[in-house]
Amino acid sequence: MKGIRQLAEHLDISIGTVSRALNGKADVNEETRKRVLAAAEEFGYVANQSGRSLRQGTTNVIGLMIESSKETVENSDNFFLGVTGGLQSVLSRHKLDLVMLPCPSDEDPYEYLKRMVARRVVDAMIISATQRIDKRIDLLVKAKIPFVALGRSSSGGGNFTWIDLDFEGVATCAVDRLVAKGHRRIAIAAPSGEINLGYIFVDAYRKALEKHGIAYDPKLVIRVKSSEQGGYQAGDELLRIEDKPTAIILIYELMAIGLYRRLVEAGIVPGRDLAVIGFREEPRAKFLQPTLTCFRMSLPDLGAALAETLLAGMPAYSETYRDGVRNRIWPLELVPAESDAFFLGSKT
Amino acid sequence: MKGIRQLAEHLDISIGTVSRALNGKADVNEETRKRVLAAAEEFGYVANQSGRSLRQGTTNVIGLMIESSKETVENSDNFFLGVTGGLQSVLSRHKLDLVMLPCPSDEDPYEYLKRMVARRVVDAMIISATQRIDKRIDLLVKAKIPFVALGRSSSGGGNFTWIDLDFEGVATCAVDRLVAKGHRRIAIAAPSGEINLGYIFVDAYRKALEKHGIAYDPKLVIRVKSSEQGGYQAGDELLRIEDKPTAIILIYELMAIGLYRRLVEAGIVPGRDLAVIGFREEPRAKFLQPTLTCFRMSLPDLGAALAETLLAGMPAYSETYRDGVRNRIWPLELVPAESDAFFLGSKT
DNA sequence: CTGAAAGCGCTTACAG
DNA sequence: CTGAAAGCGCTTACAG
């Protein structure tokens, strides 16, 4: 079975009727529709996507762009696969398929996206790893491709929708919690590079400190890679700070693993000698000892929210997702554990 | 700028010439080609993929199908992203794009693949998580879609190409090594379920034992999920085995983390009280203490091999990849570490 | 070296 | 309710 023509010939009706029957259009005789569906099933006929796309001007495919830098590869691991399920749960309701578009590490993400957009392989895009200044956003705005960004950005002149994690909430909660336990020298491990969350996180940390009357000390902001290795390095730098901090807040989930390693080497026990608060709860980090205080979120729910927000911005679906409000700050919930359990007062 | 027609109009030449210039065909005046390329660049024109695909009968897209079961989501993490880079390094030489196709967890992988294949969204497929009996393989063989399977299978009547990890080699090497250190009660943690590697691994383990004159004891084969949780459970079951094993071989990289956790709870130190050999070296497992003896492989190289094997099976590229031989067993290299460092003889 | 024309597989006004 | 026909954007024999 090749195409609709063969199927129509076999049924001895016109291809127009076959198409209408298959696409669930009204005004098709029930009897005819049944015959068509049965024959399609029998021969395994499914409309060629290129033909459909060309005619309809729409691919019914949504793209999730993924950076495949070495850093991403080593780390974001289950994050995207986790989000994927939630995305699909919403997209499948509209017969939209999700494809992940991994940007080759040797290709500029901007050029890659430009190419994908120009080729019209997808109807809409979800981009991640948003930068503070992100040309991709300007590109998508200009190309009038519906998209949603996972992460805020200064680019695009505000003419786009994003969902971002509640870094302010996390930073504030972490600082509040540590201060309540008697800490005043609180370090923070933030990502090097231009990723926007670094700025937001450090800002919120600073404000939270000020709220408690604690002076902001730039020496306590440790810039490292968002990886386990970065965590290890953060531990290293932490140990070198004079007037040693009594607590550290991590911005990236896997940093905890590297940090623990470095601390163990130095004979420092998290939750006894140093308070550690991790970022996102992560299957791997769950196995740390002592258990890590961190923040929980639902990746599938985030995926579903991304999909709804995206569809709200697509004319064909906006009706259904009126309240797929524009920008959203995605909350995380504290999961208290052992790594910051001690009170500083009772120890000093 | 919409399409090739507008671009041609602007240049005041025919669309045929524009197309030929853009596609690098010979027989185009150099001057003309330059003008066309410049104008395309200026207006950001890239050929609409649906139009091309329809005309050429080829999408220039290769699909990597990914199962997004909960288990996969929690575990295979960086595996696919790691392979992706290598795949692209080869595919990009031929202007082929890679898309990852995540099968929704509530959809049958077979139906999903069938749909993708029928819609002709990709020219060829890479499938993973191959089952012992895998209907997807029969489907692809029947549909005459070029594909390569990451993992052996009994399906497809041998009419397909696969690359698989050298489970035999790993099992044999692990057993040899442990026996050489004096172990005779060697347990193995194998995956529950129908995934093919489980069978292969246990078989090789059995043969290796027999080679050393050690009787195979089914009680030493612990069936658990391929996850950290599975590793924890494996530890649990290990402790309950009477006539306790002195060593355990793990088949899945992340099992080590859960196993360690359970051992620590029981006061057992890997590398002192129990020899542990892990499977694939994994960024996370690298941070275990004591360090884990395991096996190393290059994900990018594996990706490149997959791509070459795939292209060897596609008529349009087979010339270039003549020696993209058919099936391959992918070697892993032992990385000795602390977790199995002791000699049993010297301790008992 | 270039242009005019056919046609890839589909969907959808338009007639009837 | 159905059929005939146009046309989505491209590439590629075919003429010249």
The CATH number for B42's domain is 1.10.260.40
Residue A335 lies in a domain: no
- pLDDT tens, position by position, A202-220: 999 999 999 999 999 999 9
Q: List, as one string, the DSSP characters of A197-220.
A: HHHHHHHHHHHHHHHTTPPP-GGG
Which nucleotides of chain D have an atom under 7 angstroms from any protein CB? 1-5, 7-13
Across all strands, nucleotide nearest A20 (CA–C1'): C11
Residue B315 lies in a domain: yes
Q: Kindly identify which residue of chain A lies nearest to residue B85, measuring between CA atoms.
A: A104
Nearest CA-CA distance, residue A208 and chain B, Å: 32
CA angle A47, A53, A59 (to 5 degrees): 100
For tokens 């208290």, the residue is: A336
| The three-state (H, E, C) secondary structure of A22-54, written as one string | HCCCCCCCHHHHHHHHHHHHHHCCCCCHHHHHH
Q: What is the mean pLDDT of residues B239-257?
A: 90
- Are A175 and A78 members of one domain? no
Lookup: tokens for B345: 């003889």
Whole-number pLDDT of residue B347 = 42
Could you give the number of structural domains in chain B? 3
CB contacts, 8 Å: B95 with chain A: none
Q: How far is residue A174's CA from residue A247's CA, in Å, rounded to a whole number?
A: 10
CA distances from A44 to A4, A47, A162, B50, B302 (A): 11, 10, 40, 22, 33
- Are A304 and A202 members of one domain? no
For tokens 């057993």, the residue is: B175
B54 and A49 in contact by Cβ < 8 A? no
Closest CA to A128 of A334, A317, A310: A310
Peptide bond into B102 cis (omega under 30): no
- Are A172 and A272 members of one domain? yes
- Are A216 and A269 members of one domain? yes
Residue B341 lies in a domain: no
- Are B231 and B312 members of one domain? no
Q: How far is residue B128's CA from residue A89's CA, in Å, rounded to a whole number?
A: 22
pLDDT at residue B77 is higher than 70? no
- Are A104 and A252 members of one domain? no
Name the closest residue (CA) to the C1' of nucleotide C13: A16
> Hey, what's the torsion of the CAs at A135, A141, A144, A146, to 10 degrees?
100
* Strand A333-335 to A293-296 pairing: antiparallel
Helix A15-22 to helix A4-11 angle (10° resolution) is: 100
- Cβ-contact A278, A290 below 8 angstroms: no
pLDDT at residue A117 is higher than 80? yes
Buried b (16+ CB within 10 A) or exposed e, A57-94: ebbbbbbbbbbbbebbbbbbbbbbbbbbbbbbbbbeee
Q: How far is residue A285's CA from residue A122's CA, in Å, rounded to a whole number?
A: 35
Residue B183 lies in a domain: yes
Whole-number pLDDT of residue A347 = 42
Q: How far is residue B286's CA from residue A311's CA, in Å, rounded to a whole number?
A: 41
Residue A340 lies in a domain: no
Whole-number pLDDT of residue B324 = 66
Asked if the Cβ of residue A132 lies within 7 A of any atom of strand D, the reply is: no
Altogether, the residues listed in chain A come to a count of 348
**B191 pLDDT band (50/70/90 cuts)?**
confident
Name the closest residue (CA) to the C1' of nucleotide C3: B14
**A71 pLDDT band (50/70/90 cuts)?**
low
**Torsions phi, psi for B149 (to 5 deg):** -105, 135
A261 and B289 in contact by Cβ < 8 A? yes
**B82 pLDDT band (50/70/90 cuts)?**
confident
pLDDT at residue B269 is higher than 90? yes
Asked if the Cβ of residue B3 lies within 7 A of any atom of strand D, the reply is: yes
Residue B65 lies in a domain: yes
- pLDDT tens, position by position, A151-184: 888 898 888 999 999 999 999 999 999 999 999 9
pLDDT at residue B337 is higher than 60? yes
Whole-number pLDDT of residue B76 = 53
CB contacts, 8 Å: A61 with chain B: 121
pLDDT at residue A266 is higher than 60? yes
Q: How far is residue A192's CA from residue A200's CA, in Å, rounded to a whole number?
A: 13
Which residues, in sequence order, are CB contacts of B75 under 8 Å at separation 6+?
A78, B226, B227, B228, B252, B254
- Are B304 and B158 members of one domain? yes
> Which DSSP helix (H) or strand (E) runs through A103?
strand A97-103
Q: How far is residue B63's CA from residue A98's CA, in Å, rounded to a whole number?
A: 12
Asked if the Cβ of residue A32 lies within 7 A of any atom of strand D, the reply is: yes
Name the closest residue (CA) to the C1' of nucleotide D12: B16
- Are B186 and B283 members of one domain? yes
- Cβ-contact B148, B311 below 8 angstroms: no
Q: How far is residue A76's CA from residue A45's CA, in Å, rounded to a whole number?
A: 38
Q: Give the torsion sign (CA, A178, A180, A183, A184).
A: positive
A73 and B66 in contact by Cβ < 8 A? no
> Which DSSP helix (H) or strand (E) runs through A196?
helix A196-211
Helix B30-43 to helix B4-11 angle (10° resolution) is: 120
Q: Is A324 helix (H, G, I), strand (E, B) or coil?
A: coil
**Torsions phi, psi for B223 (to 5 deg):** -100, 120
For tokens 């939750």, the residue is: A271
- Are A290 and A229 members of one domain? yes
Residue A105 lies in a domain: yes
- pLDDT tens, position by position, B275-301: 999 988 877 666 678 889 999 999 999
For tokens 């999909």, the residue is: A307
CB contacts, 8 Å: A84 with chain B: 68, 73, 102
Residue B52 lies in a domain: no
- Are A219 and A243 members of one domain? yes
Asked if the Cβ of residue A192 lies within 7 A of any atom of strand D, the reply is: no
Give the range with max mean pLDDT: A186-200, B167-181, B334-348.
B167-181
Residue A232: CATH number of its domain:
3.40.50.2300
- Are A83 and A153 members of one domain? yes
Across all strands, nucleotide nearest B52 (CA–C1'): D10
Whole-number pLDDT of residue B308 = 94
pLDDT at residue B10 is higher than 70? yes
Give the residue numbers spanning the domain of B14.
Answer: 4-47
**Torsions phi, psi for A344 (to 5 deg):** -65, -40
**Torsions phi, psi for A209 (to 5 deg):** -60, -45
- Are A214 and A151 members of one domain? no
